[in-house]
Amino acid sequence: MTKQIIVPFGPQHPVLPEPIHLDLVLEDERVIDAIPSIGYIHRGFEKLVEKREYTEYVYIAERTCGICSFIHGATFCQGIEQIMNIDVPERAQFLRVIWSEYSRLHSHLLWLGLFADSFGFENLFMNAWRIRERILDVMEQTTGGRVIQGSCKIGGVRKDISNEKLDEMRRDLDSIESEIKDLTSVFLQDDSIKHRLRNVGKLSKEDAYHLGAVGPTARGSGVAIDLRKTGYGAYGKLNFQLVTDSCGDCYGRCAVRAKELFTSIDFIRQSIQKIPDGPIDVKVTGAPNGEFFARAEQPRGELVHYLKGNGTKFLVRSRIRTPTLTNIPPLVRMLQGCELADVPVIVLSIDPCISCTER
């Protein structure tokens, strides 16, 4: 019988933007099992709900993640609005979609860059991040913040985008789309990338579904789950084709994210075309009394904010279930049977966001 050894992977590793530790059980260079450990950056966000009024907690919720921050804030607001039966003006709902999709563009481009870096394509990494800068510029111009926007509030949004600026953004999207086409054609068609990613980190459709995979991790295995299909916010007024890939490997997950860039651009275009004039917020009075599981589609997958209020200005409970938390069990399954050299690429293929996960 081959001798088994345990190789620690992380918490600090060149491919990991944030700390996660894996104990890899190896036979020769083949991974037999992987035991994940997190907990290096637990920040106690959920405890803070006892100290901050529900209106202030929007800022906390938004800081859960430094990449998909806007969607965290919007999902928290969506949950409170459901509990309090607040009708958010239509213009605000469209603005939330626009900023959410810009967040997705920024997140996917960031990941594509990091992924390219993980398999040694420095130039591709720089190109992905160069385009991402243009997305961040729009976020900054329209909200005032590149990473933390602070533009969402309960009952609507804090800032409007003028129709002239929306026109400018629509025109700008044409050249961004053209640059993204060039970039993604390398990811999708380059032989050396296909060779590096094909059949690496396989996850079957059945495993993806039953292990609770969400987002591009699930869709890259052919599981058609995307919360935007539920039509929350203004998504119900917009059309889109869900992107899936049946490969179930690192290439499949990469292909889904690359193609979803165009879905996001299409969402923004449709929103700019359909956004009505009108108010961007409503006055909110009272305090939430009840509970709701607010769900939204983040760049990494399904996000759940469970909120429970008791009629006071302090919530009883805020629980944030991030996509990475539920993508950890599928990651363990992907790693079983892989080669040690493939571990960094496989770990990165789920787009792990550990700060989000630990809250």
Stretch that binds another protein, among 124-132, 174-182, 191-199, 314-322 (CB under 8 A): 314-322
Given candidates 88, 116, 258, 345, which one binds another protein under the rule CB under 8 A? 88
Stretch that binds another protein, among 8-16, 33-41, 133-141, 162-170 (CB under 8 A): 33-41
**Tokens 């966000």 sit on residue:** 45
Residue 51 touches another protein, criterion: CB under 8 A = no
Say if CB 216 and CB 260 are below 8 A apart: yes
In angstroms, what is the minimal distance from the CB of 109 to another protein?
Answer: 28
Q: Enumerate residues 6+ apart whose C-beta is below 8 A from 340.
A: 7, 24, 26, 29, 30, 31
Given candidates 85, 123, 162, 285, which one binds another protein under the rule CB under 8 A? 85
Q: How many CB atoms lie within 10 A of CB 289?
A: 12
Residue 274 touches another protein, criterion: CB under 8 A = no
The conformation of residue 227, written as its DSSP 8-state character, comes to G
Residue 125 touches another protein, criterion: CB under 8 A = no
Residue 48 touches another protein, criterion: CB under 8 A = no
Given candidates 73, 216, 309, 330, which one binds another protein under the rule CB under 8 A? 330
d(CA 304, CA 27): 38
**Tokens 């165009």 sit on residue:** 262
Stretch that binds another protein, among 84-92, 106-114, 140-148, 170-178 (CB under 8 A): 84-92
Half-sphere exposure of 57 (CA within 13 A, CB side): 28
Residue 290 touches another protein, criterion: CB under 8 A = no
Say if CB 223 and CB 244 are below 8 A apart: yes
Return the number of the residue (113 or 216) whose C-beta is nearest another protein: 216
Given candidates 59, 240, 262, 306, which one binds another protein under the rule CB under 8 A? 306
Nearest partner of 317 among 326, 307, 327, 325, judged by Cα: 307
* Greatest Cα pair distance in the chain: 72
Say if CB 108 and CB 298 are below 8 A apart: no
Q: How many CB atoms lie within 10 A of CB 285?
A: 8
In angstroms, what is the minimal distance from the CB of 147 to another protein?
Answer: 25
# binding residues, another protein (CB under 8 A): 42
Given candidates 11, 52, 82, 172, which one binds another protein under the rule CB under 8 A? 82
**Cβ burial, residue 29 (10 Å; 0-12/13-18/19+):** exposed
d(CA 35, CA 8): 10
Residue 232 touches another protein, criterion: CB under 8 A = yes
Residue 292 touches another protein, criterion: CB under 8 A = yes
Residue 18 touches another protein, criterion: CB under 8 A = no
Return the number of the residue (34 or 131) whose C-beta is nearest another protein: 34
Residue 295 touches another protein, criterion: CB under 8 A = yes
Residue 81 touches another protein, criterion: CB under 8 A = yes
> In 3-state terms, what secondary structure has residue 273?
helix
Contact positions vs another protein (CB under 8 A) = 35, 37-40, 42, 44, 46-47, 81-82, 85-88, 209-212, 227, 229-232, 236, 292-293, 295, 302, 304, 306, 308, 316-317, 319, 321, 325-326, 328-330, 358
